[in-house]
Amino acid sequence: MTEAKATAIKTSSASTAPRPRREDAEEAVRTLLRWAGDDPTREGLLDTPDRVVRAYEEWFQGYSEDPVEILKRTFEETDGYDELVVMRDIRLESFCEHHIAPIIGLVHVGYLPDKRIVGISKLARLVEVYGRRLQVQEKLTAQIANAIEEVLQPRGVAVVCEAAHHCMTTRGVHKTGTTLVTSRMLGALRNNPNTRREFLAMIGPHARTIEE
């Protein structure tokens, strides 16, 4: 992987503008509280700006983490293992970039190794890094797959994401019980129907929408 590609993966979606001061962020919360019609000086809301800023630090810590660093430590002692590696049901907690409303769901990741494998916890970490940013699910799905392809350089990659978007379940059309399913297939998992079917079978009932 070239240095330019590594930089592109690391900085994808990250802002290059100077970060506001913590005091400015807290004042912005007070402004929103006043705009909502409440009084940020009342007892119950006095500590809310601090709590919200601390929550944002946790929810959006993915901007300060490097996907390349997470994936670049790989292992070559595989005794010739060259079949699919699949991790399914990775919990996704993210926020939509249009309303800053939660996106909650599951991500299923698979790759076909080419001599190198990565520790399984790193796949879950990768989902978390991209999840802890303001997101569009389609972009999130592509970012996860692209990072695995660029860093591990496997023979194929597959990512399926299914999630509920609270921007449409708690506001707007108020359609509860709905999920959005997105997928990105690369290499052999895109071009080889048998390998693709094997991956979909391994993630089980989650594959129904992708197959239809």
**Which residue among the candidates 27, 65, 69, 99 is catalytic per the annotation?**
99
Place of tokens 């194929």: 156
H or E element at residue 148: helix 137-152
Q: How far apart are CA 105 and CA 90, in angstroms?
A: 8
Catalytic annotation present for 153: no
**Which residue among the candidates 65, 69, 93, 97 is catalytic per the annotation?**
97
Catalytic annotation present for 97: yes
**Which residue among the candidates 26, 128, 135, 137 is catalytic per the annotation?**
137
**Which residue among the candidates 128, 135, 161, 165 is catalytic per the annotation?**
165
Catalytic annotation present for 76: no
- For residue 191 the two structure tokens come to 């071009």
Q: How far apart are CA 73 and CA 122, in angstroms?
A: 9
Amino acid identity at 205: P
**Which residue among the candidates 26, 108, 143, 167 is catalytic per the annotation?**
167
- The neighbouring-strand residues paired with 102 are 95
Catalytic annotation present for 206: no
Q: What are phi and psi of 89, to 5 degrees?
A: 60, 40
**Which residue among the candidates 23, 57, 61, 98 is catalytic per the annotation?**
98
Catalytic annotation present for 137: yes
Residues forming the active site: 96-99, 137, 165, 167
